[in-house]
């Protein structure tokens, strides 16, 4: 991951931007990822605040962890419910792996409980009932989720906890973080016996590493309900090992044993969800929700919004200040321009690949054209032995005149002087012939004449000539030295 530029604001140690999303402020962190308040830049100055869950850099080397994050996005994309935080985008880029969710302005249930304790404020029971009902509505929708083929996916969240329940200033509670959720039709990403989730909210069968179904989520929702009404942790131990020992060895106390003013119907419903034996426990989130109906007055959405706004005022002011102070990215750095730049970069690389391929092909064609074509020379037909002098080309006649000075060429008349017309080798230009030039016979070469015998019959004065094609010439106009000639003696001698 590239080092971020230095700046007086924003998350230190993290990139300023991933894709079209500008990171502004970390708002939550876990063992697998960090959640940032981010800003999405679009066309025409469009900006929107989102929550971006960025996978820790060292975990990007683990394919199983990356697959879990992407699986969370796929499952959440199928789950559309007002009490579930929607996932907007998910990417596995070379620089970062992340998913993008709706930003819920507010706080988690864990944060609300903590701030209420700091201010010695007690969450009203109607508000607790409203939050709990919203959570069970979202959990019920997750358990009943069906795939594109209409079959129930058997989705199990496995990490229902106060940290994964967001309550917004709009008064709506939403379930989030399906990072370790598991569907019955999903590939087995969890190794056998590997325990995942927060120990304090695990069902006993989950802590033992046994097969799970939706009843483990009902247990976790019961723990959340117990802590909402009691105002403290159910299994508050020094470490996870001590918590697991208490979880497996003790039955949870009844809610009215720590809060006598809790309605009996709420106490009974929570106790039914916290039965250690899975077969005796409340079977579904819908049943848990039904048992809470009529247990007491339920706050309106506006009442919940008022409480959340009061408890999260300082946090929201801090985040608003970051948003206002964060410099707006230049137009060329906005999401649309960044995407266009990426397309242009890909197009440039594409043309570069085409140019390199064309250069390689051109080089091969050039080498093939310049390489001697021996196959054509080998396939050239031999001249017939009875070829006449008039059929000989210029190089052949020149070679004949040079090798046999006594043999007259068609250009020399009988009885001519010692000067013979000798043809010069043709030029390299294959489209034109070089004109002949006169050359004197060397003085040391005596002129030879043939005197016919009076009694002998009249016969030709020159022997027949048979030509062999030159192995160094591709044709009569290829240029180069004269074609070698093999002479055969005349049958009249």
CB of 490 within 8 A of CB of 464?
Answer: yes
pLDDT given for residue 106 in this prediction = 92
Phi, then psi, of 467 in degrees rounded to 5? -95, 140
Q: Could you tell me the two tokens for 321?
A: 């200040």
Query: What does each C-alpha distance from 38 to 16, 17, 20, 53, 74 come to in angstroms?
Result: 10, 9, 10, 10, 21
Instruction: Report the DSSP pairing between strands 465-467 and 437-439.
Output: unpaired
- Smallest CA-to-CA distance from 113 within 197, 274, 236, 199 is with 236
Q: What is the number of other CB atoms lying within 10 angstroms of the CB of residue 474?
A: 17
pLDDT given for residue 350 in this prediction = 55
**Tens place of pLDDT per residue across the chain (493 aa):** 333 333 434 455 677 888 889 999 898 888 788 999 999 887 777 888 999 999 888 888 888 888 888 887 888 788 899 999 988 998 888 888 898 999 999 999 999 999 998 888 999 999 999 999 999 999 999 999 988 888 888 888 888 999 999 999 999 999 988 755 565 544 333 433 444 568 889 999 988 888 889 999 999 999 999 999 998 899 877 788 888 888 888 899 999 999 999 999 999 999 999 999 999 999 999 999 999 988 889 999 999 999 999 999 988 888 888 777 766 655 444 444 444 444 444 444 455 666 777 787 778 878 777 766 554 444 444 444 444 444 444 444 544 454 445 444 444 444 444 444 444 444 444 444 444 444 444 454 455 544 555 554 555 454 544 555 545 444 444 444 444 545 555 555 4
| Residue recorded with tokens 């002087």 | 417
What is the CATH class of 1-103? alpha beta
The residues pairing with 437 across neighbouring beta strands, listed in sequence order, are 422
Query: Residue 159 catalytic?
Result: yes
Phi, then psi, of 177 in degrees rounded to 5? 60, 80
**Catalytic site residue from 134, 159, 177, 217:** 159
Q: Could you tell me the two tokens for 27?
A: 């708002």
Query: What does each C-alpha distance from 398 to 380, 426, 475, 486 come to in angstroms?
Result: 21, 11, 17, 13
Which stretch of DSSP H or E encloses residue 376? Answer: helix 374-379
Find all residues with CB under 8 Å of 449, minimum gap 6, and list them. Answer: 406
CA dist., res. 462 & res. 48, Å (int): 103
CA dist., res. 352 & res. 405, Å (int): 64
Fold topology of 105-328: Transferase(Phosphotransferase); domain 1 (1.10.510)
The residues pairing with 446 across neighbouring beta strands, listed in sequence order, are none
Query: What does each C-alpha distance from 134 to 173, 178, 292, 434 come to in angstroms?
Result: 6, 17, 12, 102
CA dist., res. 313 & res. 315, Å (int): 6
Find all residues with CB under 8 Å of 257, minimum gap 6, and list them. Answer: none
pLDDT given for residue 223 in this prediction = 96
CB of 221 within 8 A of CB of 139?
Answer: yes
pLDDT given for residue 196 in this prediction = 59
3-state DSSP helix/strand/coil percent for the chain, to nearest 5?
Answer: 40, 15, 45
């Amino acid at each position: 991951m590239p080092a971020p530029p230095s700046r007086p604001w924003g998350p230190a140690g993290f990139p300023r931007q991933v894709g079209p999303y500008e990171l502004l402020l970390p708002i939550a962190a876990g063992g697998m990822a960090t959640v940032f308040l981010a800003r999405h830049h679009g066309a025409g100055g469009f900006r929107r605040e989102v929550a971006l869950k960025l996978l820790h850099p060292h975990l990007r080397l683990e394919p199983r962890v990356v697959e879990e994050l992407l699986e969370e996005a796929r499952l959440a994309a199928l789950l559309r419910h007002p009490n579930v935080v929607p996932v907007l985008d998910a990417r596995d880029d070379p620089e970062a792996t992340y998913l993008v969710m709706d930003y819920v302005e507010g706080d988690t249930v864990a944060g609300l409980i903590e701030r209420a304790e700091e201010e010695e404020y007690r969450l009203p029971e109607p508000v607790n009932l409203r939050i709990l009902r919203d959570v069970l509505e979202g959990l019920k929708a997750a358990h009943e989720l069906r795939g594109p083929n209409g079959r129930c996916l058997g989705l199990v969240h496995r990490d229902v906890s106060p940290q994964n329940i967001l309550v917004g200033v709009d008064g709506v509670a939403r379930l989030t973080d399906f990072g370790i959720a598991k569907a019955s039709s999903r590939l087995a990403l969890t190794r056998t016996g590997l325990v995942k989730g927060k120990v304090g909210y695990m069902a006993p069968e989950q802590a033992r590493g046994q097969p799970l179904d939706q009843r483990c989520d009902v247990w976790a929702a019961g723990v959340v309900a117990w802590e909402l009404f009691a105002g403290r942790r159910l299994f508050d131990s020094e470490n996870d090992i001590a918590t697991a020992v208490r979880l497996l060895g003790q039955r949870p106390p009844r809610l009215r044993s720590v809060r006598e003013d809790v309605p009996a119907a709420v106490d009974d419903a929570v106790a039914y969800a916290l039965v250690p034996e899975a077969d005796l426990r409340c079977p579904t989130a819908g049943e848990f929700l039904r048992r809470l109906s009529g247990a007491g007055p339920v706050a309106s959405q506006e009442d919940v919004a008022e409480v959340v706004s009061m408890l999260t005022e300082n946090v929201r002011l801090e985040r608003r200040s970051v948003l206002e102070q964060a410099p707006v990215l230049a137009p060329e750095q906005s999401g649309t321009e960044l995407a266009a730049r990426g397309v242009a970069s890909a197009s440039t690389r594409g043309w570069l690949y085409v140019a390199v391929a064309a250069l390689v092909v051109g080089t091969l064609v050039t080498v093939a054209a310049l390489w001697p074509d021996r196959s054509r020379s080998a396939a050239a037909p031999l001249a017939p032995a009875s070829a006449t002098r008039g059929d000989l080309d210029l190089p052949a006649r020149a070679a004949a005149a040079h090798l046999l000075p006594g043999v007259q060429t068609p250009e020399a008349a009988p009885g001519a002087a010692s000067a013979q017309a000798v043809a010069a080798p043709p030029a390299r230009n294959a489209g034109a012939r070089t004109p002949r030039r006169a050359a004197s016979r060397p003085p040391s070469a005596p002129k030879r004449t043939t005197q016919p015998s009076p009694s002998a019959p009249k016969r030709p004065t020159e022997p027949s000539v048979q030509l062999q094609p030159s192995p160094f010439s591709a044709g009569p106009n290829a240029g180069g030295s004269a074609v070698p000639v093999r002479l055969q003696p005349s049958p009249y001698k």
